[in-house]
Amino acid sequence: MAQPQMRRATESGVPDNRQFLHPLLKKNYGNWKYHDRPRPGVLHHVSHSGDEVWSVRAGTQRQMDVSTIRKLCDIADQYAEGHVRFTIRSNIEFMVSSAAKVAPLIAELEKSGFPVGGTGNSVSMIAHTQGWLHCDIPGTDASGVVKALMDELYDEFRREDMPNRVHLSTSCCEINCGGQADIAIIVQHTKPPKINHDLVANVCERPAVVARCPVAAIRPALVNGKPSLEVDEKKCICCGACYPPCPPMQINDPEHSKLAIWVGGKNSNARAKPTFMKMVAAGLPNNPPRWPEVSEAVKGILYAYKADARPWERLSDWIDRIGWPRFFERTELPFTKYLIDDWRGARANLNASTHIRF
Amino acid sequence: MAKEMHPTPMLDQLESGPWPSFVTGLKRLAKDKDYVVDLMGQLEHSYKTRKGYWKGGTVGVFGYGGGVIPRFTEAKDANNKPMFPDAAEFHTLRVMPPAGMHYNTDVLRKMADIWERHGSGLIAFHGQSGDIMFQGVTSENVQPAFDAINELGFDLGGAGPAVRTSMSCVGAARCEQSCYDEATAHRTVINSFLDDIHRPSLPYKFKFKFSGCPNDCMNSIQRADMAVIGTWRDNIRTDEELARKWFAKHGMNELVNDVVARCPTKAIQLKEVKHLKAVPTVSTVAVSDTHGLEIDNRDCVRCMHCINVMTGALAPGKDKGATVLVGGKRTLKIGDLMGTVVVPFMKLETDKDREKLVELGQKVIDFFAENALEHERTGEMIERIGIVNFLEALEIPIDANMVSAPRTNPYVRMDGWDEEVAKIKAAKMVA
């Protein structure tokens, strides 16, 4: 039988964004002078040419059904000028050429359920992953955790009341697709993988799985006469690295896959160099549909920071000033032995000085 | 009308509360699509049992080896039959966004129409790699869905051991801090590596990201194998009118505590106007009739803080370009790595400049393809072989801007020292 004629792809790559730019953005490309924020959720950019553009930013659920997309398009056509963009945190921005269009646009967005905010010193939308909805290795959900937490932080998204901007992320496994953030929620497994020895030989490329383990805890073995893999459970750090290349090594566990909280990640070079976040809490239950224990922990840290940090201090800047002992005191989080680093380079995280705040 | 909904008591709880609800969106889709009815059934099952039920596989489009994320259900009953058969296949198409993620409503509506016809109707703007994620399509519909998206002028992104989809910030289109044409650099670089995107054959993933200034809104330093971050070499620019306006609004306490004291290298001093230095490498600006700021640009590390606080009053210089850093990644396998400086500064103004950036990317990718172990990222490879070996192989001259500090141990064989010194002296003579 003849193969059906297949359409050959046009390898067009990244499309030219000029076809989508708002006319004022196109006209003033590379010629902007400064911006200010007339109110939370609104950016006002002024060009060297004297042109001005207002951008109204609103939160979305990121995972959008087509009616939501069409609704946003209707708003963009009726109340804005037909051009939008998305931020890296899945907020949508509507560009308009006159200040008079801002208030009606905001009113329509909020009436339609899209909160306006996420600018300046707000808590912006959470950078997140796929979770149970679509990922093949998730320890928890993503969209649900984010929805639950953003419900709680709704007012902080719409205000600019924080000392500096606050970026949050969530990740459904230790790979941490959500990325570095001021406060991050990441799955932390606490038990070694459970191996289905019937399937390993057929499903997994065993040497590749052995090589994937960061602590060399996996070795080939013959189990019940079948070639399989075994894990030295004393060595295993329960990271889950073996699970993606070998699904029969199930790492996710409804009870023992917990959630950990990390703080102080910063990508910007502003003030201090970019920083990695540090683990400050763990053992929180994976508790759908609203993960209340996680929300409480995140809010505890967030409001301690809000109460105590000085203007322009990101969470990491605040901790640099007050020190870790006071961070744990202020947030009432227990500092346990598990929070002392013993991975490579760990000595750099010890206090090699007499710098101690009393 | 679709079939009857599965009970979803847990997901239903995510419809209340003020934040936009993805569950409400899914329910809208489920009214017409059995596909989404069963998707919600499986998601509720995950919520109940606290486990995921998707496995990967092999699904693609004609001519490409990547760009589709295959998902087959593992929620099976006692007879090994899918519990939610209409959603047994739920693949995602990763589609590359335009630079800066700009759209008009016309193209968004067309995307929605395509996905309503061929897929689940669920689209994520955007995934963590920057892709538009067209989520949920059967194996059969992958090709027609892609054909329609491709006809619209969009192309699949990367997945697996490939060059991945890239992101760039809003940049020159709407930001005064932009230090190069991010969109053109992004598009030029990525479209030079389409074969490595569409036909995965590298040791592991390779990501480029483009941020227009050191605020790094694209998080490139920790997410990209090759981060291109805008910067400038000359003096910070000043605007007295805006500086006075800022000071009138914010006052001396904020100027001292939030601007001067927060400079990481103490490059800024507060001075009386009559004592402001007129020196070529120093930027000065009066904020009032009596006081002004003096910035020694040779000490400035271009962190952006003062410019962020006093935007417009202070601005990046005119001799703009980018710093290129290599090796950023997250946890697996050796722990987090930030990208580190490989090219302290390069101009990115002309096509020729951008061609040099493409050449650098090509050299890094070629070396990575030849030398990285399977499933090893560039940062891990460099950690294993040492950055000097990496730089020498790429014929990139070493530079003191590449380190935080010189070595703190004597454990190195140094019998080539005199030759290295001679080489550096000879290079200086030529320059």
Task: Give the bridge partners for B226, in sequence order.
Answer: B208, B326
CATH topology of domain B9-151: Alpha-Beta Plaits (3.30.70)
Record: contact B257-A276, CB cut-off 8 A: no
CB contact under 8 A, B338 and A10: no
Q: Which of residues 134-163 of B touch A (CB under 8 A)?
A: 135-136, 143, 146-147, 150-151, 153-156
Q: For testing the chain B interface, which of A65, A93, A204, A310 should be mutated: the one with the most B CBs within 10 Å?
A: A65
Question: Rounded to the nearest 5°, which phi and psi values hold at B132?
Answer: -75, 125
Same domain, yes or no: A214 and A285: no
- Mean pLDDT of all residues in B380-400: 96
Same domain, A180 and A329: yes
pLDDT score of A2? 60
Q: How far is CA A234 from CA A65, A192, A231, A241, in A?
A: 46, 9, 9, 16
- Return the pLDDT at B331: 86
Nearest to A59 among B19, B63, B223 (CB): B19
Nearest CA of chain A to the CA of B343: how many Å?
Answer: 17
Is the pLDDT assigned to residue B4 strictly greater than 80?
yes
- Is A218 part of a structural domain of the chain? yes
Is residue A1 very low, low, confident or very high in pLDDT (cuts 50, 70, 90)? low
Whole-number Å distance between alpha carbons of A208 and B214: 38
Please tell me the distance from the alpha carbon of residue B251 to that of residue B124, in angstroms, as a whole number.
44
Using an 8 Å CB-CB cutoff, list chain A residues near B336.
276
Read off the tokens for A171: 């990740």
Q: What is the CATH number of domain B237-315?
A: 3.30.70.20
Q: Report the C-alpha gap between A298 and A170 in whole angstroms.
A: 11
Residue bearing tokens 């339609």: A112
* A140/B176 Cβ within 8 A: no
Do A293 and A331 lie in a common domain?
A: yes
Give the tens place of pLDDT for each residue, A54-105: 999 999 999 999 999 999 999 999 999 999 999 999 999 999 999 999 999 9
Burial readout B303-331 (b: 16 or more C-beta within 10 A, e: otherwise): bbbbbbbbbbbbbbbeebbbbbbbbbbbb
User: What pLDDT sits at residue B334?
Assistant: 87
Mean pLDDT of chain A: 96
- Host H or E run for residue A280: strand A278-284
Q: In this prediction, what percent of chain A has a pLDDT beyond 70?
A: 99
**What CATH number has the domain bearing residue A225?**
3.30.70.20
Same domain as A274, residue A241: no
A-facing residues of B in 252-271 (CB < 8 A) are: 254, 257-258, 262, 264
CA distance B339 to B336: 10
Domain extent, residue A242, equals 194-250
Residue pLDDT, tens place only, A246-272: 999 999 999 999 999 999 999 999 999
Quote the CA–CA distance of B147 and B143 in Å, as a whole number: 6
Q: Is B47 at the interface with chain A, CB within 8 A?
A: yes
| Residues of chain B with C-beta less than 8 angstroms from the C-beta of A64 | 22, 25, 122-125
A241/A249 Cα distance (integer angstroms): 10
Beta-carbon separation of B11 and A77 below 8 A: no
Over residues B214-236, mean pLDDT: 97
**Which structure tokens are listed for A291?**
């993960």
* Among chain B residues, CA nearest to A181: B219
Q: How far apart are the first and last CA of chain A?
A: 82
Q: What are B313-334's pLDDT values in tens digits?
A: 999 999 999 999 999 998 888 8
Distance CA B145, CA B60 (A): 11
Distance CA B35, CA B41 (A): 10
CA distances from B361 to A229, B85, B185, B226, B398 (A): 38, 45, 12, 8, 18
Q: A114 contacts in B (CB within 8 Å)?
A: 20
Closest A-chain CA to B146: A9
Asked which of A266-280, B36-50, B310-324, B417-431 is least confident by mean pLDDT, the reply is B417-431
Residue B181: CB atoms within 10 Å:
25
Q: What is the dihedral of CA B62, B123, B91, A290, to 10 degrees?
A: 160
Contact yes or no for B51 and A55 at CB 8 A? no
Q: What distance in Å separates the CA atoms of residue B303 and residue A314, rounded to the nearest whole number? A: 14
Residue among A114, A241, A310 whose CB faces B20 most closely:
A114
Name the residue facing B52 among A65, A143, A252 (closest C-beta): A252
CA distance B279 to chain A (A): 25
Q: How many structural domains does chain A have?
A: 3
Contact indicator for B318, B237 with CB cutoff of 8 Å: yes
Mean pLDDT of A10-34: 98
- Looking at residue B120, its pLDDT comes to 98
SS3 A253: coil
Distance of CA B124 to the CA centre of its chain: 17
Query: Are A159 and A300 contained in the same domain?
Result: yes
The distance between the two most distant Cα atoms of chain A, rounded to a whole number of Å, is 82
Judge if A260 and A304 occupy the same domain: yes
Is residue A2 in some structural domain?
A: no
CB contact under 8 A, A13 and B190: yes
Same domain, A73 and A55: yes
**Is A5 contained in some domain?**
no
DSSP letter assigned to residue A274: P
Assign A350 a pLDDT band (cuts: 50, 70, 90). Answer: very high
CATH number 3.30.413.10 given to B167-233+319-430: yes
Residue A174: both structure tokens together? 């230790």
A328 near A335, Cβ under 8 Å? yes
Point out the residue among A25, A36, A143 whose CB comes nearest to the CB of B173: A25
Q: Which residue of B has its CA nearest to A273?
A: B303
Please, are residues A40 and A117 in contact by the beta-carbon 8 Å criterion?
yes
Among B15, B43, B50, most A C-beta atoms within 10 A, so best to mutate, is: B50
Residue A37 lies in a domain: yes
Angle between helices A66-78 and A102-111 (to 10 degrees): 160
Residues A160 and A61 in one domain: no
HEC string of A44-55? EEEECCCCEEEE
pLDDT in tens, B98-132: 999 999 999 999 999 999 999 999 999 999 999 99
Query: Do both A72 and A170 map to the same domain?
Result: no
Q: Does the beta-carbon distance from B219 to A36 stay under 8 Å? A: no
0.90 exceeded by the pTM? yes
Nearest C-alpha in A relative to B110: A70
> Does residue A125 fall inside a structural domain?
no
pLDDT above 90: percentage of residues in chain B: 97
CATH number of domain containing A304: 3.30.413.10
Regarding whether A293 and A161 lie in a shared domain, the answer is yes
CA A322-A328-A334 angle, to 5 degrees, is: 165
d(CA A303, CA B91): 40
Residue boundaries of the structural domains of chain B: 9-151, 167-233+319-430, 237-315
**Chain B residues lying within 8 Å of A68, measured CB to CB:** 20, 25
Q: Which residue of B has its CA nearest to A33?
A: B176
pLDDT tens figures, B170-199: 999 999 999 999 999 999 999 999 999 999
Paired with A263 in beta bridges are A183, A278
Structure tokens at B196: 């490595």
Distances (CA, A) of A156 to A48, A59, A125, A166, B326: 33, 12, 10, 10, 35
Given a cut of 80, whether residue A4 has pLDDT beyond it is no
How confident is the model at residue A6, as a pLDDT? 87
User: How close A24 comes to chain B (CA, Å)?
Assistant: 9
Which of helix, strand or coil describes residue A338?
helix
Is the pLDDT score of A3 beyond 80? no
Contact call for A25 and B111, based on CB within 8 A: no
Q: Same CATH fold, B167-233+319-430 and B9-151?
A: no
- Would you say residue A126 lies in a domain? no
Q: Which residues 223-252 in chain B show a CB within 8 A of chain A?
A: 223, 229, 239, 242
User: What are the chain B neighbours of A290 within 8 Å (beta carbons)?
Assistant: 13-14
Q: Does A145 share its domain with A262? A: yes
Whether A121 maps to a domain, the answer reads no
Q: Which amino acid is at A35?
A: H
Residues A162 and A265 in one domain: yes
In a domain, residue A319? The reply is yes
